[in-house]
Amino acid sequence: MLIEISKGKQITLPVEIREEFNLVAGSKLELIRKNNEIILKPIEDELEDIFKEADKIKPKHKLTAKQMDELNERLFR
């Protein structure tokens, strides 16, 4: 499947892909750079898991960058 970058430097995901992955306006995607590839990965459900884990850490909602990195590593790797 080929897509093109627009004059505004944006890409449009084909409807088949959006429907298959239930992507709507506001859906979040993780952009992963791997060697010579660009990978887009939907993260909606996983993002909710991060917030649930963050609620367990005290003090609430004052996570350090290190704590967020640790959560990310546990949930996504």
The pLDDT score that the predictor gives to residue 33 is 92
- 41-72 core/surface letters (b: 16 or more CB in 10 A; e: else): eebeeeeeebeebeeeeeeeeebeeeeeeebe
What confidence tens digit (pLDDT) does each residue in 44-77 have? 666 667 777 777 776 665 777 788 778 878 777 6
Whole-prediction pTM: 0.53
| Contact residues for 13 (Cβ-Cβ < 8 A; gap 6+) | 3, 23, 40
What confidence tens digit (pLDDT) does each residue in 20-34 have? 988 988 888 888 999
Which CATH number, 2.60.40, 1.10.3470, 2.30.30, 2.10.260, labels domain 1-42? 2.10.260
Domain boundaries, given as residue ranges, for the chain = 1-42, 43-77
